Amino acid sequence: MAKQSNEPVLWALFSAGGVMAAFLIPVHLFLLGLAFPLGWIPAPSYEHLLALVRLPVTRLYLFLLCFLALFHWAHRFRYTLYDGLQIKHLNELIFVCCYGGAIFGTVLAGYLLWNFR
Amino acid sequence: MSDARPTTRYTEYHPRWYRPRVSTWWWLARWPYLKFILREISSVFVAWFVVVLLLQIRALSRGPVAYAAFERWLQNPLIVLLNLITLFFVVFHAITWFNLAPSAMAVRFRGKRVPDLLIVGTNYAAWAAISLVVAWFLVRS
């Protein structure tokens, strides 16, 4: 019997992350990275953001956003390297680096958000 | 480097394999190829956004001084430029993602397939609505 592949799970995470990233990241990035620093829109105060992130629902949202976006990156970037650079002998290393990076980032996000005071 | 050119090795019971080596830069040859690679590269910028978000969360939890430093860091022209490029790529990701949605999910209603344009349109409408909700939560002093 063929060995069961974990590819469907990884693809599902990629797909869910793709949906999250498409709907949510443009607006987040536009505000955080451009509109607030350049003064186009008044930036939210420290207190407002602190109160927002203290809500458990916000932290769950931020965790899911980080987790799924990172696994989206891992899957897509892995195949970009496979297809783009034709370095087949490094495939295992690429796999470990991509998903290792995604797991590291997810754990970090969980740690930061769980311990948020 | 014995494995460098497997095409020239003797292969028993087979005529010599004909496998011309594809250039590493194949994706520069045509616009659709380049578009494909740009779409794939967008994932790197998705990951960069997560890095910025995690830095923001860390700064928030460390207190007002750390958060002010984080806000100053965001005003660094290099970071602004990087975030501008990131915005281009994440919007590119979103557009290509929504335009592919009808192929990914063939929705049926009363036995008939829902037109592609309606599915794409619904995605764009949802994108606008979700963006407004996120902005509503964040844009308040």
* C-beta atoms of A73 and B3 within 8 A: no
- Please report the pLDDT score of residue B141 as a whole number: 54
- Please report the pLDDT score of residue A42 as a whole number: 93
Outline where chain A has alpha helix (H).
7-29, 46-54, 56-85, 91-114
Residue A47 CA to residue B72 CA, distance in Å, equals 17
Residue A94 CA to residue A86 CA, distance in Å, equals 12
Delimit the domains of chain A by residue range. Answer: 12-35+45-114
Q: Choose the CATH number for A12-35+45-114 among 3.10.20.80, 1.20.1300.10, 1.10.3720.10, 3.30.70.890.
A: 1.20.1300.10
Is A95 in contact with A75 (CB distance < 8 Å)? Answer: no
Q: Which residues of chain B have pLDDT under 50?
A: 1-4
The pLDDT mean for chain B works out to: 88
Note the pLDDT tens digit of each residue in B7-43: 556 666 666 667 777 788 888 889 999 999 999 999 9
- Please report the pLDDT score of residue B17 as a whole number: 65
- Please report the pLDDT score of residue B1 as a whole number: 41
- Please report the pLDDT score of residue B107 as a whole number: 81
- Please report the pLDDT score of residue A97 as a whole number: 94
B2, B46, B140: best to mutate for the A interface, most A CBs within 10 A: B46
**Nearest residue to B140 (alpha-carbon basis) of A117, A41, A58, A39:** A41
CATH fold for domain B6-104: 3 helical TM bundles of succinate and fumarate reductases (1.20.1300)
Note the pLDDT tens digit of each residue in A22-62: 999 999 999 999 999 999 999 999 999 999 999 999 999 99
- Please report the pLDDT score of residue B2 as a whole number: 45
- Please report the pLDDT score of residue B8 as a whole number: 54
Nearest-Cα residue of chain A relative to residue B127: A23
The whole model's pTM is what?
0.88
- What is the count of residue pairs from A and B with beta carbons less than 8 Å apart? 159
Note the pLDDT tens digit of each residue in A52-101: 999 999 999 999 999 999 999 999 999 988 877 777 778 889 999 999 99
| 3 state SS of B112 | strand
Q: Identify the bridge partners of residue B108 per DSSP, sorted by sequence position.
A: B113
Nearest-Cα residue of chain A relative to residue B70: A37
Residue A67 CA to residue A14 CA, distance in Å, equals 10
Give Cβ neighbours of residue B64 (< 8 Å, ≥ 6 apart). A46
Delimit the domains of chain B by residue range. Answer: 6-104
Of B40, B86, B131, the CB nearest to A27: B131
A19, A20, A29: best to mutate for the B interface, most B CBs within 10 A: A29
- B-chain CB neighbours of A100 within 8 Å are none
